[in-house]
Structure 1
Amino acid sequence: MMENITCWLAKDPDPHTREELQHLIDAKALAELEERFSQRLEFGTAGLRGKVGCGPNRMNRLVIQETATGLGHYLIEQVNNAASRGVVIGYDGRNDSKQYAHDTASVLTALGIKVYLTHAVAATPIVAFGVKHFNAAAAVVVTASHNPPEYNGFKVYWENGAQIIPPHDAGIAEAIDNAATKAIPLMSLDVAQKQALLVWLKEDYYQTYRQAINENPLLNNHNQPEDVSIAYTAMHGVGAVMAETLLNDAGFSKVYSVKEQREPDGNFPTVNFPNPEEEGAMDKVIALAKQHNADIACANDPDADRFAVAVRTSDGDYQMLTGDQVGSLFGHYLLSKAESNQQLVGNTIVSSSLLSKIATAHGAQYYQTLTGFKWLTNVAMQKQSDEQPFLFAYEEALGYTVGNKVWDKDGLSALVAFAQLTAELKSHGQTIWDQLEALYRQHGMYLNAQRSIALDPKAAPIGDKLRQAPPTMIAGKPIEITEDLKSLTKRFANGDTESIDLPSSDVLIYHLAGGARVIVRPSGTEPKIKCYYEVIEAFAQSDSFEQVLEKASESMGMLISEHQHSLL
């Protein structure tokens, strides 16, 4: 191991991580050194993401340069005219992101690949937009999204504008391993620019994204926007300028931004965890909303690809909507605006099945994918046609894409769409809560929850256990259908089987009598499982929203309790 460490120390271009590594060597911190050098940070379908620090199992300049080298070689092999078509590169506001983006550009241009590099920080959807805009071979965004401050990441988009999926993740990973054994090619950005290999994306490029969003026909519902007031936070990320601009373009003049969270700050000083889903993360924007009696309190995560919203309640307080609630509202709203039937909408296997019912009610086509936005957009591109155009997709983790201007989740266009939905309802004397209740009354109240369960590390894998002795009941309800995404088989209680048209994945889905659903997804790296639960409670005409919510919550509590007990 010490030979690898010495070699790394000699190659590392960053004095800060060299100093960190030398300190670990001097302190004989063998366990720490082993953890950092026993393996490389794994490159997968989300690219790279990890803590910043020295060594191949951390995010640092040398890891970035090796990753960019592997990516460059793979693109030249796999994509027609990759060098001349180029790669779009952008970065978020984290402390190391600009340096990592510039290192990536230095490597790719040294390989003869043209680079379009943002001149300043950019929201992830603004960079992803550039792939199709320039007909580029790929894009790279240096971002760790909503992870804690000590993290950074390297996200890759393919030539179709969507995040990479197999086999490209494995192909790039192999090319990175190969690149790590050789000298790293580097070209200064000044030289690259002189050789016409580097194009700086300046303000006119950002305005091109703005224009594309404003021209999206799905975002042109200008229904008394001046009557809606909006509190907004960028959560110390890069979304504020474009978010405020797009809202202003759409006629929303009452927009109040959380001042202390408006500018990019990689230290995220006012939030413990810069993720709108985390408790306390929305406190400042909700406080600002109360101050102005705003209709909605909205947030983007730090790279602005996710969107979160809390809505004013009848008592003047604010309540967060879940990703599934926002997705269902969007599904109904956008399908109501669609020019024709047969529009294509989709979500992931762990998201609410309410969207499928909404799609059916509108005569639209619904599709479902594995977890991850990369699947939602790649599958949408395969399924769409002139007769069946893509409209909308979402995942429960606050990711939404409206139309096909960006083939990834886009928290900026989602913000505009939700503001316009709010304005339309308000112009009719209605609220978001009224619309949500109307959907529940039509289709039933869909309640979703997720839990992680720690398991005995010495025990056999839970997936193996469940497959060897398949349960027939959960929480006293018979299992009517079991979907095993590992064997891609759907088994009915009567013994019939069907094949499943999805990539293989270690996931089990149980459909219970009465409509409830349980999904079990064993962790591949830790002794724990993730469980996703859905219950459906019917609405009688005389039932109040509160009554049905209470019933659904009781059913959910019982389902979670009894299912988790059965696994331990």
Structure 2
Amino acid sequence: MTSEIHRWLRRDPDPETRSELQRLLECNDQKELEQRFSGRLAFGTAGLRGVVGAGPNRMNRLVIQETATGLAQYLLAQQVNAHSRGVVIGYDGRPDSRQFAEDTAAVLTAHGIPVYLTVRVAPTPLVAFGVRHLNAAAGVVVTASHNPPQYNGFKVYWGNGAQIIPPHDKGIASQIDAAARSELSMMALDLAQESGLLTMLDSTFYQDYRQALGRSPLLSNHTTPEAISLAYTAMHGVGAEMAEALLKDAGFHQVYSVAAQREPDGRFPTVHFPNPEEPGAMDLVIAEAAKYQATLAVANDPDADRLAVAARTEDGHYQMLTGDQVGVLLGHYLLSRTTPSQSLVGTTVVSSSLLQRIAHSAGAHYYQTLTGFKWLTNVAMEKQSDERRFLFAYEEALGYTVGNLVWDKDGLSALVAFAQLTAELASKGLTLWDRLESLYRQHGLHLNAQHSIALSPGAPAIGDALRAAPPQQIAGEPITATTDLKRATIQYSDGRQEAVNLPGSDVLIYQLASGDRVVVRPSGTEPKIKCYYEVVETVQEQESLEQAQQRATARMSELIAAHQSSLG
């Protein structure tokens, strides 16, 4: 390991990380050195993400330069026109992001690949938009999204504007490994600009995205925007300027931004964990909403590709909507504004099944994928046609895409669409809660929950154990169908079997006789499994929604307790 450390010190272009590593050597901190040099930060379908620091198992300038070299080599091998199409690069407001983006540009241009680099921080959806808008061969966003401040990341889009999927992830990873053993080439950015290899994307590019959303027929519902008001937070991220502009364009003038969280600040000083799903993360925007009695309290995560919503209740308090509730409301709303029989909507295997019921009821086309927006958008591209146009997709982790301007989750266009939905309801004297109740009464109250179960280190793989001894019931309910994505089959309790057209994945889905569902997804990196539960409760005509909710909540508690107990 010592020789590897000294080789790293010779290659590292950053005096700060060199000094950090030198201090670890002087202190003989073998545990920390082992962690940093025991392996390399893995490159996958989400690119890279990790803690910033020295060493190959951390995010730093040398890792970025090696990663960019691997990407350049892979692009040149896979795309004959990469030299003419180029790569779009953007970055968030974290302390190292601009430097990492510039290093990426220096590497790509040294390989003769043109680069379009944003002049300032950019929301992730703008880069995804820019790949297709500029007909680029790929896109890169330097961002760690909603991870804590010590993290950063390197996210890659392919030339279709969607996140990379296999085999590109493995192909790029292989080239990165080769780059780590080779000399690296860099081009000074001023020279790259002089030679025409570097184009700076100025305010015109940002306006291109803004105007494209403004022209979208899916975002053209200007029904009484003055009927509602919104409190908004960018959560110290990069979304505020564009979010406020888009809302203003759509006629929403009662928008109150949380000043303390409006400007990009990668230290995230007012929020412990900058993920809107985390407890306390929405406190400031809800307080701002209460101050003005706003209809909605809304948040983008720090790179603005996700959207979180809290809505005012009848008693004046604010209640968070789940990602599934926002997704179902948006899906139903967008289907009402199009021709359903010509529309394609989708969710993931762990998201609520309510959108599927709504889509089938409306006569729309529905599809389902593995978790992750890389699947939702790449599969949508395969399934859409002139008779079946892509409309909307979402995942329960606050990700939504409205139309095909951005082939990834986009918290900005989703924000505008959700505000327009809320305003349309208000013009009819209705609220979001009213619309949810009507959907629950028509299709059943769908309650979803997620729980992780820790396993003992070294414990046998739970997925294999469940396949070896398949359960016949969960919480006293017979299992009517088991979907095994590793074997790509659906096994029915009556003996029938069907093939599943999804990529292989260690996921088991149990459908119960009651209509409830349990999804088991073992972690590939930790001794734990993730379990997703869905309870569907019929709302009787004469009863209140609260009564049905109480039954569903009680059933959910019993289901989770019984299932976790069965897993030991």
Query: What TM-score, normalized by structure 2, do the two folds share?
Result: 1.00
8 Å CA contact retained: 2:345, 2:390: yes
Say whether 1:47 aligns with 2:47.
yes
Question: What is the CA-CA distance between 1:548 and the residue it aligns to?
Answer: 0.6
Question: What is the CA-CA distance between 1:128 and the residue it aligns to?
Answer: 0.7
Per-residue Cα deviation, 1:197-252 (whole angstroms, up to 9, x for no partner): 00000001000000001111000000000121000000000000000000000000
- 1:335-346, aligned counterparts within 5 Å? 335-339=335-339, 341-346=341-346
- 1:257-336, aligned counterparts within 5 Å? 257-336=257-336
- 1:215-294, aligned counterparts within 5 Å? 215-294=215-294
Amino acid at match of 2:13: P
Aligned to 2:418: 418
Per-residue Cα deviation, 1:50-76 (whole angstroms, up to 9, x for no partner): 000000000000000000000001001
Identify unmatched segments of 5+ residues in structure 2. Answer: none
Aligned to 2:138: 138
Identify unmatched segments of 5+ residues in structure 1. Answer: none
Task: Give the Cα separation in 1 of the matches to 2:22 and 2:325.
Answer: 51
Task: Give the Cα separation in 2 of the matches to 1:248 and 1:198.
Answer: 33
Task: Give the Cα separation in 1 of the matches to 2:385 and 2:526.
Answer: 41
Aligned to 2:367: 367
Say whether 1:480 aligns with 2:486.
no
Task: Give the Cα separation in 1 of the matches to 2:222 and 2:443.
Answer: 28
Task: Give the Cα separation in 2 of the matches to 1:270 and 1:528.
Answer: 31
SS of the equivalent of 1:120 reads coil
RMSD: 0.6
Aligned to 1:521: 521
8 Å CA contact retained: 2:340, 2:362: no
Bigger mean CA offset, 332-341 vs 556-565: 332-341
Aligned to 2:395: 395
Task: Give the Cα separation in 1 of the matches to 2:202 and 2:226.
Answer: 31
Task: Give the Cα separation in 1 of the matches to 2:62 and 2:343.
Answer: 46
Aligned to 1:177: 177
Question: What is the CA-CA distance between 1:340 and the residue it aligns to?
Answer: 5.0
Amino acid at match of 1:88: V
Task: Give the Cα separation in 1 of the matches to 2:350 and 2:537.
Answer: 18
Large movers: runs of 4+ above 3 Å: none
Aligned to 2:91: 91
Amino acid at match of 2:78: Q
Task: Give the Cα separation in 2 of the matches to 1:103 and 1:543.
Answer: 62
**Residue-pair matches, total:** 568
Task: Give the Cα separation in 2 of the matches to 1:100 and 1:137.
Answer: 20
- Aligned identity (percent) is 68
Aligned to 2:497: 497
Say whether 1:349 aligns with 2:349.
yes
Question: What is the CA-CA distance between 1:80 and the residue it aligns to?
Answer: 2.7
Task: Give the Cα separation in 2 of the matches to 1:370 and 1:458.
Answer: 27
Task: Give the Cα separation in 2 of the matches to 1:332 and 1:72.
Answer: 42
Aligned to 2:566: 566
SS of the equivalent of 2:238 reads coil
- 1:188-207, aligned counterparts within 5 Å? 188-207=188-207
Per-residue Cα deviation, 1:169-221 (whole angstroms, up to 9, x for no partner): 00000000001111111001100000000000000100000000111100000
- 1:441-480, aligned counterparts within 5 Å? 441-480=441-480
Aligned to 2:552: 552
Aligned to 1:376: 376
Per-residue Cα deviation, 1:85-137 (whole angstroms, up to 9, x for no partner): 00000000011000000000000000000000000000000111001001100
Task: Give the Cα separation in 1 of the matches to 2:26 and 2:83.
Answer: 44
Question: What is the CA-CA distance between 1:84 and the residue it aligns to?
Answer: 1.1
Amino acid at match of 2:24: L
8 Å CA contact retained: 2:340, 2:363: no
- 1:139-158, aligned counterparts within 5 Å? 139-158=139-158
Amino acid at match of 2:477: K
Task: Give the Cα separation in 2 of the matches to 1:458 and 1:38.
Answer: 20
Question: What is the CA-CA distance between 1:494 and the residue it aligns to?
Answer: 1.2
Per-residue Cα deviation, 1:8-65 (whole angstroms, up to 9, x for no partner): 0011001110011001101111111111111100000000000000000000000000
